[in-house]
Amino acid sequence: MPHMIFIEHDGTRREVDAPVGLSVLEIAHKHGVDLEGACEGSLACATCHVVVDPEWAPKLSEPTEDEEDMLDLAFGLEKTSRLGCQIVMTDALDGLVVRLPRTA
């Protein structure tokens, strides 16, 4: 099974199992990682904003226009910002690293 690494707000690295087919948001919730996801992954908010490690960003599909519109609402937007609900785990993403941005 693939794994991924969350870098939490305080810098703690958490390596977790990341089942293929689940979104980064779903994986975070499965492992108790503090990633909100107020709209439950329906692409209607930006509360699952994550910053993808620059090494991994090119391996992801391009964000859709809808995702980019929602990202415009995120605090602390960075070049590799994405919504966790829109990144779906695959075997090719084994080892994916995402950082949880500060919310304020």
The CA-CA-CA angle for residues 36, 37, 39, to 5°, reads: 140
Q: What is the pLDDT of residue 102?
A: 82
What is the predicted pLDDT for the residue at 62?
95
Looking at domain 3-99, which CATH architecture does it have?
Roll (3.10)
Instruction: Give 33-90 pLDDT, tens digit per residue.
Output: 999 999 999 999 999 999 999 999 999 999 999 999 999 999 999 999 999 999 999 9
Confidence of residue 104 (pLDDT cuts 50, 70, 90): very low
Between CA 78 and CA 89, with CA 87 as vertex, the angle to 5 degrees is 135
* pTM assigned to the model: 0.95
The strands making up 13-17's β-sheet, listed across from edge to edge, are 13-17, 3-7, 96-99, 49-52, 81-83
Confidence band of 21 (pLDDT split at 50, 70, 90): very high
